A and B are shown apart, each in its own frame.
Chain A
């Protein structure tokens, strides 16, 4: 695996390993792979690695790095950078574990998706067409962030891409499925937010009692499955 990387400090206790530009499944795979490698071959002082679209943030304790290596005249940042460079140069690409498709049942429209009609009108489509377009492609989970279990997904079809609401809502119900520009996502917890809410899933995205604590993992693909109110309610009961 030969490609150019750039390592930038994020303060004195973290750094960002840039693996390419833009939103691209191949570059994302590098981020997944490096995260796996770092977790397998941890250096002294390593705290955690957090993959994003095209980079990985590595958190470390510079004092432990300083203590556990006798190379003088080098900062802990330089030592960690050298370690990461070597890990990548050795060329071992950790294949991400087998692709998982997670099905997300969604009740579109109505009380659960108050902005579905707005999104439809915005594009001169019927609500059914919006639902069809939104649910007929799989989305790659590039990263989790913003809130526990909140997935940053690959782009939504331009035919339904819609700008955020001008005034954000004070509270968006957990499980709400939204569109913001070309992004789509699911709110795991009740939070304020400006996304256009087109539906809601009964599935829980944040599972603090479980390991891992989230329904979705970076690298997963998700598929939205439109369901009826009846099915949605049954699902909700099953979960509780």
Chain B
């Protein structure tokens, strides 16, 4: 088998862009927390952008390659190294048989993504390779990777082959890289853009202002399901009885204690807490790169601004797709 897990790290799972079409059955979407990084990693090795890749968290993951393998590492800077030498990131990279890839610890961001040419060979469950741990489906036998697990890459397509053979000619990696900064902002003091939530109007005036003026802190209770925040509590004008209804990635809900919870990739499909805000889609990748105890500020934007950001981001990813096609002609 081509890749062996020497140390799994905190929580390494196979993720793609999520399992859509089954939310009405209560099946959560899941998928990569930082989808921009996952998509770019896949494009860099010649995969379709929604292919399954590894999501690595914070520190400790170590993989051994038993075959020459084309990969790309994107996302947070987890100090990736190959046999002890700093690994080039945000570009296609040829790992030689016998080499060991290690993620030491996160110096910027929280999650890195490793895409493999040909993808990871695991079956799709309900149209997706994303790992759904609670239901024990998808990914690698429905679980996070464990020490000793081995997996295989899928068959390479023409585009994978083109990049692979060109890299063989230039000592395994290229001199250029994609600038990840516009796609994933990992600087300190990040501000996350937010649209008003469906129950925004039911919160008292003070709370409406507090959300956009005060600084919150991500607590240690922050995982793929949601981030619990610490900071000034937010309160409703009067108690509100809500029925469960749809929620989504980035929904900011307020439980009875007034402390916001931001729903992340592994959120449940429905929820019954009032929703004060909704993180815009474009900023979810930035949000995914926060670490516990990081500070977070929210800025209100309009629907026009949110959609404009979404459209520009898609255009920017498309530009990367085109320039890679020019760099590696078939």
How far in angstroms is the closest Cβ of chain A from B239? 15
Do A63 and B310 form a contact, CB below 8 Å, given A10-B278, A148-B25? yes
Q: In the complex, which residues of chain A have a beta carbon less than 8 angstroms from the beta carbon of B135?
A: 147-148, 189, 206, 208
- Taking a contact as CB atoms under 8 Å apart, the answer to whether B243 and A54 are in contact is yes
- Taking a contact as CB atoms under 8 Å apart, the answer to whether A146 and B268 are in contact is yes
The listed residue (B125, B244, B278, B311) touching A146 by CB distance below 8 A is B244
In the assembled complex, A224 has its CB within 8 A of some CB on chain B: no
With both beta carbons as reference points, the residue of chain A lying nearest to B244 in the complex is identified as: A145
Query: Size band of the A side of the interface?
Result: 35 or more
Q: In the complex, which residues of chain A have a beta carbon less than 8 angstroms from the beta carbon of B304?
A: 75
Interchain CA distance A47-B249 in the complex, whole Å: 14
- Taking a contact as CB atoms under 8 Å apart, the answer to whether B22 and A11 are in contact is no
The listed residue (A66, A144, A189) touching B307 by CB distance below 8 A is A66
In the assembled complex, B281 has its CB within 8 A of some CB on chain A: yes
Interchain CA distance A75-B268 in the complex, whole Å: 28
With both beta carbons as reference points, the residue of chain A lying nearest to B23 in the complex is identified as: A50
In the assembled complex, B174 has its CB within 8 A of some CB on chain A: no
How far in angstroms is the closest Cβ of chain A from B199? 9
- Taking a contact as CB atoms under 8 Å apart, the answer to whether A57 and B25 are in contact is no
In the complex, per-residue mask of A60-86: 1 if CB is within 8 Å of any chain B CB, else 0: 001100100000000111000000000
In the assembled complex, A197 has its CB within 8 A of some CB on chain B: no
Interchain CA distance A220-B318 in the complex, whole Å: 44
The listed residue (A10, A14, A75, A213) touching B25 by CB distance below 8 A is A213
In the assembled complex, A23 has its CB within 8 A of some CB on chain B: yes
Query: Size band of the B side of the interface?
Result: 35 or more
Q: In the complex, which residues of chain A have a beta carbon less than 8 angstroms from the beta carbon of B198?
A: 8-10, 16
In the assembled complex, A139 has its CB within 8 A of some CB on chain B: no
Interchain CA distance A12-B21 in the complex, whole Å: 18
The listed residue (A11, A23, A150, A212) touching B250 by CB distance below 8 A is A11
Q: In the complex, which residues of chain B have a beta carbon less than 8 angstroms from the beta carbon of A12?
A: 195, 278, 280-281, 303, 306-307, 310
With both beta carbons as reference points, the residue of chain A lying nearest to B301 in the complex is identified as: A12
In the assembled complex, B329 has its CB within 8 A of some CB on chain A: no
Do A214 and B26 form a contact, CB below 8 Å, given A10-B278, A13-B248, A148-B135? yes
How far in angstroms is the closest Cβ of chain B from A175? 15
With both beta carbons as reference points, the residue of chain B lying nearest to A48 in the complex is identified as: B21
With both beta carbons as reference points, the residue of chain B lying nearest to A11 in the complex is identified as: B278
Do A14 and B246 form a contact, CB below 8 Å, given A50-B23, A146-B26, A218-B24? yes
Chain B residues 12-40 with CB under 8 Å of chain A are 20-28
With both beta carbons as reference points, the residue of chain B lying nearest to A149 in the complex is identified as: B26
- Taking a contact as CB atoms under 8 Å apart, the answer to whether B314 and A75 are in contact is no
Interchain CA distance A46-B28 in the complex, whole Å: 18
In the assembled complex, A106 has its CB within 8 A of some CB on chain B: no
Q: In the complex, which residues of chain B have a beta carbon less than 8 angstroms from the beta carbon of A150?
A: 26
In the assembled complex, A177 has its CB within 8 A of some CB on chain B: no
The listed residue (B244, B245, B281) touching A13 by CB distance below 8 A is B281
Interchain CA distance A214-B25 in the complex, whole Å: 6
In the assembled complex, A59 has its CB within 8 A of some CB on chain B: yes
Interchain CA distance A206-B25 in the complex, whole Å: 9
Most buried by B among A13, A59, A77, A212: A13
- Taking a contact as CB atoms under 8 Å apart, the answer to whether B126 and A208 are in contact is yes
In the assembled complex, B215 has its CB within 8 A of some CB on chain A: no
Chain B residues 255-286 with CB under 8 Å of chain A are 268-270, 275, 278-281
Do A11 and B279 form a contact, CB below 8 Å, given A16-B198, A54-B243? yes
In the assembled complex, B6 has its CB within 8 A of some CB on chain A: no
In the assembled complex, A226 has its CB within 8 A of some CB on chain B: no
- Taking a contact as CB atoms under 8 Å apart, the answer to whether A143 and B270 are in contact is yes
In the assembled complex, A191 has its CB within 8 A of some CB on chain B: yes
In the assembled complex, A53 has its CB within 8 A of some CB on chain B: yes
Q: In the complex, which residues of chain A have a beta carbon less than 8 angstroms from the beta carbon of B270?
A: 50, 52, 143, 145-146
- Taking a contact as CB atoms under 8 Å apart, the answer to whether B243 and A145 are in contact is no
Q: In the complex, which residues of chain A have a beta carbon less than 8 angstroms from the beta carbon of B27?
A: 148, 213
Do A59 and B310 form a contact, CB below 8 Å, given A12-B303, A145-B244, A189-B135? no
The listed residue (B245, B250, B251, B307) touching A53 by CB distance below 8 A is B245
Interchain CA distance A75-B242 in the complex, whole Å: 28
The listed residue (A145, A213, A218) touching B269 by CB distance below 8 A is A145
With both beta carbons as reference points, the residue of chain B lying nearest to A217 in the complex is identified as: B25
How far in angstroms is the closest Cβ of chain B from A18? 9
- Taking a contact as CB atoms under 8 Å apart, the answer to whether A53 and B243 are in contact is yes
With both beta carbons as reference points, the residue of chain B lying nearest to A8 in the complex is identified as: B198
Interchain CA distance A103-B251 in the complex, whole Å: 36
Q: In the complex, which residues of chain B have a beta carbon less than 8 angstroms from the beta carbon of A57?
A: 245-246, 248
16 A-B residue pairs with CB within 8 Å: A11-B195, A11-B306, A12-B195, A12-B303, A57-B245, A59-B20, A143-B24, A144-B24, A145-B26, A147-B134, A148-B26, A149-B26, A208-B137, A212-B25, A213-B22, A213-B25
Other A-B pairs, 18, CB within 8 Å; known A10-B248, A52-B245: A9-B195, A9-B278, A11-B250, A12-B278, A12-B307, A35-B24, A52-B246, A53-B245, A57-B246, A62-B307, A145-B270, A146-B270, A148-B25, A148-B28, A188-B26, A189-B134, A208-B126, A218-B24
Leading 8 A-B pairs by shortest Cβ distance: A57-B246, A145-B270, A11-B278, A12-B306, A144-B26, A52-B245, A63-B314, A214-B25
